[in-house]
Structure 1
């Protein structure tokens, strides 16, 4: 059926529009397709990485159960190198740090904590790594270690860990025999703990002991 004049005019306009903008339209569609393909590929890669990391973490857990320290630490190292973007890498580093510390290797323990404190993708693991690293640095207590601990504790506390940040700052002051400043930090931590009901009772008892030691009053 032949087109009437109005329809023919619309067809001609559409052809003219396509001739003028086809490169732009094709480019936009191509970019969109590549973006979708990239996103799909990234999601597949993330799933694949997580699955592989999970298997390696299970190997680490089995090694812990068998008391194989070398295999445990090697699995943690592999998780850092191969699957550093997954939560398993930070989780394994925290575990490896404890195992290294229990074995008397404080330096290696802190290396694991430094890695997690820098690379953990999960905020909870990031906070735990920073707090545990600060605690070990304070315990060692050299000027260099106290400076590193101070740098960590000077960062903005990770949400949900404000009380522990204040408590660790109190530990930092106490290590330098700054009793008044330690008391202020412990009191701040106690108030924050009372505002954060999800913290376990053990955390409150430990903080209470520290607070009593510097002459503070829990309220």
Structure 2
């Protein structure tokens, strides 16, 4: 009986936590990290601000959890794409393109990752420990690119540089895509990303 009550309490607590995170994502999208408040998140979730402190110590802690879930989804998408390939070159392409596609299809997650909700493009952090965890999650999602490059014979240093190049190229194209600026060039962001990846793979294979 005690175990059942404990299990029920944990389930209720988990449900409340998810409601808070869902509400928080909406508030962050509307107000940004700086403009959001615990009170606004609590109202959206249907709780009091005091109830939020039972689950989270601050709005930065909530933002970190929302971003952590987003990065977990990104990592899963990349790993699923890579798992369906057999050769290093195809794994590299699958990893880079699935990273791009995830954010092409989920622009709010891109905003979330770059703290762009109304905050503009400026440095932001959630505390050293949280930042380290989140940066590690992002790096893990990108790591299959470097791993495939190493399989193709390049050094770890060059593989890491390629990972950064793919990240930078993807985010640049995604910015053009989601702001509509890509239209002024009469270009396709997915096509440009694919061409970039193919060129880098060809360069690796030649080397």
TM-score (norm 1): 0.37
Larger Rg: 1
The structure, 1 or 2, with the larger RCO (C-alpha pairs under 8 Å, 6+ apart) is 2
TM superposition score normalised by structure 2: 0.39
